């Protein structure tokens, strides 16, 4: 059974700091991995999708890496800003795929202080 | 372009009543998903529609829950005889063709069952 864990559950940093959010999964046979952002009271915004054949993806100040063999992904945020404050979720498709079911981690709630 | 929209944004109902939640996916997206997020908990997959294929209903928690989708357009999630434990934010997402693609989420419907 696939389980996704995110550490830490919460993080508070001063503005400008670089930071890393961690995501681990128990079954390494994943098809892809997605990182999402959720603002309070709102839906999810997709940040990055990494295919299983890729090792990393970059979008602006965000860089996500994937190490399937160790069951880990990290989301690196450079030069954090107060606007980055949100909950960050990682998710993988259930089983070998061919299903809409994403397994989500519990999320890391980030607060960036001005 | 327009994103995924959901209505109503908030719904308060009495225990035992039926409710209908609506989702309008991004135009042209053939895959549509419903998730539930209960307070303090992670996202739970409910159901997945992909084109004209039979939906994946493996996440529906009980037979009080059902969902329909007409072609590649609107979907409705119906909860019959609502219970207090049904209180949650119900999120809809759509993707281009299948589960392998990035999922784009709507803002959610917050359901409160009194």
Provide mean pLDDT across the span A30-34: 90
Query: What per-residue confidence (pLDDT) applies to A100?
Result: 66
Given this model, what pLDDT does residue A95 score? 66
Kindly state the tokens that stand for B58: 């493996």
- For chain B, 114 residues long, give each residue's pLDDT as a single digit of tens: 589 999 999 999 999 999 999 999 999 899 999 999 998 888 999 999 988 888 889 899 999 999 999 877 899 999 999 999 999 999 999 998 776 788 899 999 999 999
Task: Check residue A97 and give its pLDDT.
Answer: 57
Q: Give the pLDDT score at B1.
A: 56
pLDDT at position B54? 87
Residue B92, token pair as written in the block: 């809809």
Nearest to A14, CA basis, from A80, A77, A60: A80
| Chain A residues with CB-CB distance to B33 below 8 A | 100, 102
Q: What is the count of residue pairs from A and B with beta carbons less than 8 Å apart?
A: 64
Q: What is the pLDDT of residue A98?
A: 61
Q: Is B86 helix (H, G, I), strand (E, B) or coil?
A: helix
Please give the average per-residue pLDDT across A36-64, as a whole number: 92
Distance, in angstroms, between B95 CA and closest chain A CA?
10
Q: How far apart are CA A81 and CA A76, in angstroms?
A: 13
Nearest residue of A to residue B43, measured between CA atoms = A104
The full DSSP string for chain A is: ---EEEE-SEEEEETT--EEEEEEES----SEEEEEEE-TTS-EEEEEEEETT-SEEEETTEEEEEETTTTEEEEEE-S--GGG-EEEEEEEESTTSSSS-EEEP--EEEEEE-
* Three-state DSSP class for residue B84: helix
Q: In this complex, is the C-beta atom of B106 within 8 Å of any C-beta atom belonging to chain A? A: yes
Per-chain mean pLDDT for chain A? 92
Residue of B45, B57, B77 to mutate, testing the A interface (most A Cβ within 10 Å of its Cβ) = B45
**Cβ atoms of B32 and B45 closer than 8 Å:** no
Burial class (CB in 10 A: 0-12, 13-18, 19+), B27: exposed
Summarize pLDDT for A1-21 with one digit per residue, the tens: 889 999 999 999 999 999 999
B105 with A94: Cβ contact below 8 A: no
């Amino acid at each position: 059974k696939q389980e996704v864990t995110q550490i830490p559950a919460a993080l508070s940093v001063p503005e400008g700091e670089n930071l890393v959010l961690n995501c681990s999964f128990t079954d390494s046979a994943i098809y892809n991995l997605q990182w999402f952002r959720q603002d309070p009271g709102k839906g999810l915004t997709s940040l990055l999708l990494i295919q299983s054949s890729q090792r990393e993806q970059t979008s602006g100040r965000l860089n996500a890496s994937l190490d399937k063999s160790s069951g880990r992904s990290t989301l690196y945020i450079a030069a954090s800003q107060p606007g980055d404050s949100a909950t960050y979720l990682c998710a993988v498709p259930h089983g070998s795929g061919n299903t809409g079911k994403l397994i989500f981690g519990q999320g890391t709630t980030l607060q960036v202080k001005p | 372009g327009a994103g995924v929209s959901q209505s109503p944004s908030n719904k308060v109902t009495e225990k035992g009543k039926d409710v209908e939640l609506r989702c309008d996916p991004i135009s042209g997206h053939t895959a549509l998903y419903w998730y539930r997020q209960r307070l303090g908990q992670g996202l739970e997959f409910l159901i997945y529609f992909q084109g004209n294929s039979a939906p994946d209903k493996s996440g529906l928690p009980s037979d009080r829950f059902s969902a329909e989708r007409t072609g590649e357009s609107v979907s409705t999630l119906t909860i019959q005889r609502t219970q207090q434990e049904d209180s949650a934010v119900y999120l809809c997402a759509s993707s281009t063709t299948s589960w392998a693609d990035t999922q784009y989420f709507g803002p959610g419907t917050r359901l409160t069952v009194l």
